[in-house]
Structures are given as structure tokens and as C-alpha cells.
Chains A and B, each alone.
Chain A
């Protein structure tokens, strides 16, 4: 779940809809995919750009907390695996930027909006990764939470977004499993290692729950997005599903979920659990999380420092094209 608090255009009743809008909604209801050049309501287009863009930004910024540990991985194998995972995140960002571009916005425009703070990325990446156990917790919990949201999004109504999600989901399962494998190694290791694993779980549990966005009762934009099938499940549904699946995984590791209120509820066939501290969530979204400045700063620096290189390649391409044209002209 890499998109949170996506503002969607107001919901229209059927009487307020134009003929085109009704026909569009009927296509979505029938489960047809909407493709780039086809007619779509302006609100649908704008909401998708916001959502896919934020999702793409999250993939790219999400490389930073893990990139932090590549050079300090405990073994060469772990290093190669983490490197492959972080490279995947770059790929996921690119698939998503491409999907957003089919809606009439360019990748550079989206990046500019990220850099200026106009567009957001998932709150989770504003938390620090303090030690190697955090690589386990991030893969297990953060990628685990992302999968919860991304699997249903494979059925989203917008063709390019759906295809990007299908590709991403194929790769994401590797991410979660490699994280869990790190957790197993730590949890079944020395007492100190187990303590590190528990500490990582303690720090990432509530931020992971926040990834699903605010509670349904405070989630103002869901109805329209769900009608358009660019949101498939509500925030609370997905959060509940995540908790239900994760608790037994923690039990297997012999680790304790840091929530005293966590208890199995036979009636609803799911766990009761504490809500995260939503005031913390909104502070992080506003830019006041532990690592907001560092993360965005690193992105802006990478983009600015790379400008000469991008320009150099463009200049080379232009010169080479001119040379080819001259040869053709001379023949």
C-alpha cells in the first residue's frame, strides 16, 4: 500500500452524470479495462495520476532505507539479495511512472512535484532503518503490507496500472519472503539477535499498520475511487487482513506483537488490535517524521547531481543522430 490519502474528485449521483460518464461507469462496472486514449472523466484521470504517481514515488524513495544497508550486509549472499531487491524497487517505480505517463503527465513533471513536496510518498519510508534486523522487518512487514494492497489492484479498471501491478506482484513475493528469511535467521539465532528482531518488530509494527491509511470512518475519498475501481478494498479491510496473516507469522518466529490489546475475536474470525497513533501519521505525512528531510534531500541531491550525466547522454545521442543523418545525406 504505497498510496495514502489520495484525494479523489467528488462522487456524482447517477442523475448528475453526463451520458458519457454513465457509459464510462457502466464499462467499469462490467469489468472492462479502460485504455489510455479512451474517453475518461477528468476526475478519474487526475485521481489516477495522483495515485499512480504517489505509488511510483514510494517505490523510488523506498529504495533509500534499504540501500542504507547494502554495503553493510552480513554476508556476500545477503548483499546480493538485498541489492536485487532494491533494484526491483527501481523497476517498480519505472513501471508505475510509465503507467502514469499514459495519462498525459511526464515522468520529469512527476519527479518535480515529488521534489517540491507537492506530491507525497508512503509515510513508512520516513522511519529510519537502524540495524540489519530492520532489513528483515521491512521486507516482512512493509512489503507484506504493500502486497495486501497491490494484489487486489491487479484488477483495477485502468489497463496500464493493472498491467504494472501484475508485474510488480510477481516480484513482490520475493521481497516479503527474503525479509521473513532474515527475521528467521535473527529470531532463531543468539539471544542478542532475537532481541534485535523483536526490537525491529516493535518499531515497525505500527508504522506498517499506518501504511493502509486512516480508518474508514475518516477516509473521505474512498467512495468515488471504489466506484471507479482504482481502490478495491477499504483501508480497514486491508489492515484487518494484514493483521490476521501477520500474527501467526510472528508467533512462528517466537516474537511478540507490541500490542497488549491484540486478541483473537472468534465472532469476527479475526484479531482485535489497537489503532496506530493517527496524530503521528498525520505529522509524518506533513513532513515531520524522523527521516522526511533526509529522504527527500537524498532524492533531490541524486536528481540534481545526475543532471550533467543525463544531459551528456542526450548530447551524445543528438551528435550521433546528426552524424548518421550526414552519412545518409552524403550517400
Chain B
């Protein structure tokens, strides 16, 4: 019987040059180097990426679902942050 479980890693893949790394899932690996090797096999078998980041899952601090209101609701009433809030007369042309 194995002594301990390999730690969990969160995997981020850059799909194409010029794009952000995006979270694609997680996997178990003994260390960062092996996590990259495993991520290559698990998440990029069909040329899904050009770069991989691996982060120990325990290192991720997440906002709690119960904070959703205080964190995100204030943005709801601020529609003036969007360009479509302002009516610009047609004569002005493209803006």
C-alpha cells in the first residue's frame, strides 16, 4: 500500500500564442515537473496548448460563495461603465 497520496495541482494551458493561460482542470503529481509531464498527457493530447502552468491546489485562495453579493453586486448598478450607456448623435460619426 502506498504511503501517501500525490498532491493535487491546478492546470492552466495557453491555447494559442497571444491568449491567456486558462484553467483546464486538475491532476495529481508528486512534484511540479511531473505535474507538467502529466498535464501534457492529460490535457494536450490534441494540440490544445503551447504552454502549461501548474499550481499546487492548496496554494489557491478562492473567494467564498457567501461573499458573492458584497463582491459582485455593486457592479450591477454601474451601467455607465459600459460604452453603450452614452448616446452619441449619429452626426458625430463612429466613436
Task: Report which A residues bind B (CB closer than 8 A).
Answer: 35, 37-39, 84, 87-88, 91, 94-95, 98, 101, 106-108, 163-164, 167, 171, 304, 307, 310-311, 313-314, 316-317, 320-321
Contacts and interface: CB of A to CB of B under 8 A. Distances in A.
Contacts of A321: 31
Contacts of A101: 8, 26
Contacts, number: 54
B64 interface: yes
A98 B27 contact: yes
Nearest to A37: B65
B42 A94 contact: yes
Contact of A316 (B25, B26, B30): B30
B75 to A, nearest CB: 19
Contact of A39 (B3, B6, B8, B65): B65
B25 A314 contact: no
A320 B42 contact: no
Interface string B1-38: 11111101000000000000000011110110010000
Interface in B35-81: 41-42, 45-46, 62, 64-65
A37 B64 contact: yes
A98 B25 contact: yes
Contact of A91 (B1, B6, B31, B41): B41
A80 to B, nearest CB: 13
B62 A106 contact: no
Contact of A310 (B6, B42, B62): B6
A237 B46 CA distance: 33
13 contacts: A37-B64, A87-B45, A95-B42, A98-B25, A98-B26, A107-B5, A107-B28, A307-B1, A310-B2, A310-B30, A311-B2, A317-B34, A320-B31
Contacts of B26: 98, 101
A307 B2 contact: yes
Contact of A314 (B4, B8, B41): B4
Given A87-B45, A91-B41, A94-B27, A313 B8 contact: no
A267 to B, nearest CB: 43
A316 B31 contact: yes
Given A314-B30, A316-B30, A317-B30, A108 B5 contact: yes
Closest 4 CB pairs of A and B: A317-B31, A313-B30, A317-B30, A38-B65
Contacts of B64: 37
A95 B25 contact: yes
B35 to A, nearest CB: 10
Nearest to A174: B46
B25 to A, nearest CB: 5
Given A98-B26, A311-B2, 4 more contacts: A37-B62, A107-B5, A307-B1, A313-B34
Contacts of B8: 101
A184 B27 CA distance: 37
Nearest to A91: B42
A299 to B, nearest CB: 15
